[in-house]
Structure 1
Amino acid sequence: MPSSPPPSLQRNSRERQLIAQEAARLVAESGIHDLEHARRKAAIKLGITSEALWPRLSEIEQALREHQLLFAASSQPGALRLHRESALQAMQFLHAFQPRLTGAVLSGLADGNSPVILHLHCDDADAVQRFLHEQRIPAESRAWPLRLAGHPSKQHFPGCEFAADGIAFELVVLPEDALRQPPVSADDGKPLPRATLAQLRQLLALEA
């Protein structure tokens, strides 16, 4: 018979699971949408300070899927569809900036409170703000920390956020080089999942 894992490994696995579950609860119930922030806050709340014991972001995503199946199975799919349709309209509107959809709306984890996160690409960091101003869309400036492929550390990239028809939008302005060297995951350094306008159209067609 296979032997049981050592108690230390069992404890480590249990701690990772507890953090993942608490982080998922925070995302679902407390309005936190950044998984890294949710992970850190959950770990602090549980008193697990060693980052070696923290779950990967993919584990938190899985815990969030399970949480949504248990507590939001009737409402989450409709909210996700609405957010994806809104993302499609926004990407059409912002097509000149070569938008890419990322985050919970792409992964399928979005709920009614999730923002639509779009990466825009332009070497003129102020061009998006000027465009929104010309279109009479009020937006607040903000910066987001991201690490691009080929870079050793995170940088803060400008952008803005606004709401339309009750849905929040976060527009992050990246240099055009980020089309070839996209943002990467804090966990494994792999490119973040991102979708073009054509890919989002295909995703919506598959769901219809």
Structure 2
Amino acid sequence: MSTNDLRVRQLIIEEAARIILDEGVVDYGLAKRKAAERLGAAQTRNLPRNAEIDSAVHARQRLFEDDADREELRRLRTVALDAMTMLEPFDPRLVGPVLEGVVNRRDEITLHVFADSVEEVIFHLEDRGIRWRGDERRLRTAQGHVNYPVLAFAGPDAQVEAVVFPLKGIRQAPPSPVDGRPMRRAGIREVKGLLEG
């Protein structure tokens, strides 16, 4: 790889990290393509790996983080904990940027919940007067790509998306889009610990 290719690759990494944090893009592939296009390198076949971008996201966050970012992360984790407590019968797990400590200008919290059927979770929400909207999330699993139902509802000042897995789904988290290892998940006790720490 030439010095110029390495320089372009590094610029793509840095621009993709900025796009993720400042524009709220959560799809690393999309962030890479946008970054390459903005840098006039849309035809490059040498796009960085997701792990390189993730490392740059965390480095940029540390560099530019201020009290407002820390307070925003605390607020989002508090909303997540409230939603998890409400969904406790479904063993909720926090995943994604709010768990990882990334403040990306998106007031969106992602939970994994586990039930015999999506209807169980729907009835639980409706019994509490919570309005929800249905969607799907395509995730990679050991069996290939699978569509899972998503129930989105408004928390206080943040959108909560509960991805509904079958009960056995608690045993094996889907692979992380960053490094392919099982996605990090945190239960209620761990999220409480993050808020207390």
State the secondary structure of the residue aligned to 2:118: coil
* Cα distance in 1 for residues equivalent to 2:44 and 2:145: 21
Hey, which bits of structure 1, 4+ residues long, moved more than 6 A?
none
**Change beyond 3 A, Cα 1:30–1:186:** closer
Give the equivalent residue in structure 2 for 1:57: 50
User: How many aligned positions are there?
Assistant: 196
Structure 2 partner of 1:189: 180
Which residue, 152, 160, 177 being the options, matches 1:169? Answer: 160
Task: Map residues 44-193 of structure 1 onto 2, 5 A cutoff.
Answer: 44-46=37-39, 47-49=41-43, 53-148=46-141, 150-151=142-143, 153-193=144-184
Residues 49 and 183 of structure 1, relative CA distance in 2, 3 Å threshold: farther
Taking only aligned residues, the RMSD between alpha carbons, in angstroms, comes to 2.2
2:15 to 22, 31, 42: 22
Aligned residues: percent identity?
Answer: 34
Please state how far the C-alpha of 1:60 moved relative to its aligned partner: 2.0
Between 37-46 and 95-104, the greater mean CA deviation after superposition: 37-46
Could you list the runs of 5+ residues in structure 1 that have no partner in the other structure?
Answer: 1-7
Q: SS where residue 109 of structure 1 aligns?
A: coil
**Does the 8 A contact of 2:33 with 2:42 survive in 1?**
no
What CA deviation, in whole Å up to 9, does each residue of 1:49-87 have, x standing for no partner?
455x22232322332234334545232111001111111
Structure 2 CA distance for aligned equivalents of residues 157 and 165 of structure 1: 25
Structure 2 unaligned regions, length at least 5: none
Could you say what secondary structure the match of 2:67 adopts? coil
SS where residue 181 of structure 1 aligns? coil
Is contact 1:106–1:195 with CA below 8 Å preserved after alignment?
yes
Q: Does the CA-based 8 Å contact 2:20-2:104 persist in structure 1?
A: no
